[in-house]
Structure 1
């Protein structure tokens, strides 16, 4: 069996278990909320239009955006609960994903339930009233059974939507089948991408088939059929989440990672160092920059690697550039004072934002610096990663050099390099420790006006684990121990087309470079 396929199967129990737990919980909660609302909406027009309107509006919000929007809401609520009750609410992971997917599941259940109840022959209600039934008895004994097939059709639609959307829970820190897709896209591991898509599709089809069996049984008045479908569905959910219960002990440490190859490698390296100390470690990957830092600050992850320039500009909101040593010193003081976050030290290399071009294109236009680039920007297309154009660094570059490109395009980092190679972009926001710079013979444009801050890779520790001796001992050996060439080699081993390594393999190879 191919090594990547074997690795994908090894991860399946954890990813599938969490995906099923999240989807089933969201769908169940959506049913519990939607059915009573739909009953009220079917009886009172004053309730119907607001309820259906709000549910319809929620459906127009892209599911990834809806998932992300719960992060700041829960973060603010967590601050209040900590001040009032001394406890916090998790702003990342299962809770925000559950809330968002519950809202996303409600519209088809609401619509179908209202349609099913309103479609009942009025004579049936009159007959129920004629034999002395109360409105509640009529609802449960006559109306809901008659509308059950239509209601089940809505639940089937909601189930498929929820299972598909649950793959997008990965960026907010919740493990799901989306972990295959997000990490696979970033590292160009198409086996992972296909595996994640196939597993999610298979899960949705199986759930739809079993719910369809229940729907058919209800429609034909065959209790054996719908009981069989319901029993098989419950057994399947129990079997899927059972591996989570078997490994339910909380890990001693949680390591974080953003959504690109270097972060995956460094997270695996930190896990490896902690495991050598006998610790149980897990990782939360594919986090956005602000999500990662907030998760660290609130103790949802214990350590991760960030970059001094990112912290300086995005977290501390600083626009000045006092130089490398001043930035590092300022970070150490300000992050500890403000958030209790500890900067353990630098890893020994810098992964700076820099604008890069293909060498032949840069030489043909005579572009060597950002000043040169500004003179040609109007005829060029700029490619950036998914967050670059909204970052302070981009604002600083535009302010310093007056960059005004013909067009701007956003890509996943992996596809950004592909776009440069194909000519779809002329300039990209590259990363200086990326091995593809040398492999693709790219030119890094100089920054004579010092618009971009330094980007030393630094290890951050959460306030809750800042004084943990084992964590400090395991990670202190990484400080100052990774030269940029070694990091570029490790990154390229994951990103290259042939003989691709996994982040774990790259991390183990990188560990051999470290002398401590």
Structure 2
């Protein structure tokens, strides 16, 4: 427990500073958009309903979906600007997160500003006109001061929403307090999950309290409260972001998808690079599609992917050739079509497999997916979040005619729990997961070879194809990791007792395979 707390505290300055920068930038942009828009709708009442309707519709889009949607948009825009002007727009991390959170920040400010301005008594406006005030003078000296308490309430709501939603930025490559939550959920590090929730809630509470002080100062025309609240917010912001000023920019960025094995391998690669004297940053918790796009566009420099995923999702292939043929064709295609270098396989496979508890498999007499298909209509399937939308699942359904009574998608951690407690009967497990042996699971044979090979391979970005430091650091990992060693490392992170963090598990894995830095 103490080790987990120390690990959480060690990364807090980085997570907090980037979370604050993102939240402040989104809130400021939200203010700059909302105020002029609100004033325009008050001046032209015909605009009010359509503008507020659009803002409300944006708010109904799930936060994670909004963040994910901006990534391909910015990627396409970057391709256009790079070709036309030689200007590459970073599509991963800060910009898609900022764009999405800015839209989320607009509605509360816009709605409250409109409500505050339209709620002013008409006689007050008439009196202001009567003393000869211009429209600008009426707005700045009469209307905004009277509406300020209502407007500030909207700003407070927007600030709290923005700080909370910023925790969802992790899957698109933006470091935030959400890194605690996403990595903690996957590795069953509940200290990290709690730490991330408490830190985000505390930040939102402090900001809300200071904005409430400003709101009371505006309502009572008390400059001391206004200045005090703004001063605390300003000083706190500078203190929170100060770690970013002192840090040096990383020379290499290593990516990782959103499960334990990826965290461990990314840490191992980073440790190897640091041993070469390189500065390294990690972009963790990425979705499969985002990870590959980020690599091919140069937003990350290296990461581990799997041949079956690349074969089906990136190349769009549906056949399942032998392992050597697949790797050779994949290597050539990646280099020719995307400029991506396949440095080589790590030596183990992490394939999608269907698994049952051993007792349940024996009870039902199920040993293969053919056996499973005959009884699937009475069974429940639990899958990881991606699996049910992947080509592999479509291939399994087509090859075996699988039709389950119920299908549920889970975070991988909860998927395994659902199987062990009997909520589901079958799961889409991962062949290198240590929990297969620990939970006494049976992996079903795939006699029709519907699922391709999933050899773990190191990929290098186009700009790093001939990078000597990167190749020297990562080449010793090629062919060095047996599946037993990877299972042990995965289980060290995933188990409940004597749990390791990904960095510690990576160190132990490096020593086990003889490639310690």
TM-score (norm 1): 0.99
Query: Counterpart of 2:486?
Result: 487
Whether 1:302 aligns to 2:301 is yes
Matched with 2:316 is 317
Find the counterpart in structure 1 of residue 338 from structure 2. 339
Q: Secondary structure at the match of 1:213?
A: helix
Structure 1 CA distance, aligned partners of 2:308 and 2:86? 33
Alignment map for 1:115-194 (pairs within 5 Å): 115-194=115-194
Distance in 2, matches of 1:233 and 1:497, equals 40
User: Secondary structure at 1:460's aligned position in 2?
Assistant: strand
In the alignment, which residue of structure 2 is the partner of 1:51? 51
Distance 2:484 2:476 in 1: 18
Deviation of the 1:221 alpha carbon: 0.6
Q: Within 1, Cα distance between the matches of 2:23 and 2:120?
A: 31
How far, CA to CA, are the matches of 1:41 and 1:150 in structure 2?
Answer: 17
Q: Match for residue 502 of structure 2?
A: 503
Superposed CA offset, 1:332-356 (max 9, x none): 0101111100000000000011000
Deviations 1:107-131 (A, max 9, x none): 1101100010011111221121112
Q: In the TM superposition, what whole-angstrom CA distance separates every residue of 1:229-263 from its partner, at most 9, and x where no partner exists? A: 1111111111111111111x221100000000000
Question: What's the counterpart of residue 467 of structure 1?
Answer: 466
> 2: CA distance between counterparts of 1:359 and 1:258?
29
Q: Secondary structure at the match of 1:512?
A: helix
1:328 aligns with 2:335: no
Q: Deviations over 1:238-294 (max 9, x none)?
A: 1111111111x2211000000000000000000010011011001000000001000
**Cα distance, 1:513 vs. partner?**
2.3
Give how far 1:386 is off: 0.3
CA drift of 1:316 comes to 0.6
Report the equivalent of 1:18: 18
SS at match of 2:418: helix
Q: Where in structure 1 do 4 or more consecutive aligned residues deviate above 3 Å?
A: none
1:294-327, Cα deviation, whole Å (9 max, x unpaired): 0101111000000000000001110011111111
1:204 matched to which residue of 2?
204
Separation in 1 of the partners of 2:225 and 2:288? 50
The residue aligned with 1:423 is 422
RMSD over equivalenced CA pairs, Å: 0.8
Aligned to 1:86: 86
Structure 1 match to 2:399: 400
Q: Which residue of 2 aligns with 1:368?
A: 367
Unaligned runs of 5+ in 2: none
Deviation for aligned residue 1:514: 2.7
Mapped partners of 1:419, 1:111: distance in 2: 43
Q: TM-score, normalised by structure 2?
A: 0.99
Structure 1 runs not aligned, ≥5 long: none
1:38 maps to which residue? 38
1:204-223 Cα shifts (integer Å, max 9, x gaps) = 00000000000000000111
Q: Secondary structure at the match of 2:427?
A: strand
Aligned twin of 1:278: 277
User: Whole-Å Cα distance in 2 between the matches of residues 208 and 100 of structure 1?
Assistant: 21
* Aligned counterparts of 1:42 and 1:300: Cα–Cα separation in 2: 43
CA–CA separation in structure 1 for the residues paired with 2:261 and 2:165: 27
CA distance in 1, matches of 2:249, 2:232: 30
The superposition leaves residues 38-93 of structure 1 with CA deviations (integer Å, 9 ceiling, x where unpaired) of 01111212211121011000001011111111011111111111111122211110
Give the secondary structure class of the aligned counterpart of 1:449: coil
* SS across alignment from 2:477: coil
The question of 1:110 aligning with 2:93 is answered: no
Aligned mates of 1:406, 1:345 — CA distance in 2: 41
Aligned residue number for residue 249 of structure 2: 250
- Aligned pair count reads 515
2: CA distance between counterparts of 1:466 and 1:33? 43
C-alpha displacement of 1:515: 3.2
Alignment of 1:58-73 (within 5 A): 58-73=58-73
Secondary structure (helix, strand or coil) at the match of 2:344 reads strand
Once residues 165 and 252 of structure 1 are traced to their aligned partners in structure 2, the CA distance between those partners, rounded to angstroms, is 29
Q: Give deviations 1:353-392, integer Å, cap 9, x for gaps.
A: 1000001111111110110000000000001000000000
CA deviation profile, 1:427-481 (whole Å, cap 9, x unmatched): 0000000011111111100000010000000000000111100000000010000
Specify the SS of the correspondent of 2:74.
helix
1:7 positional shift: 0.8
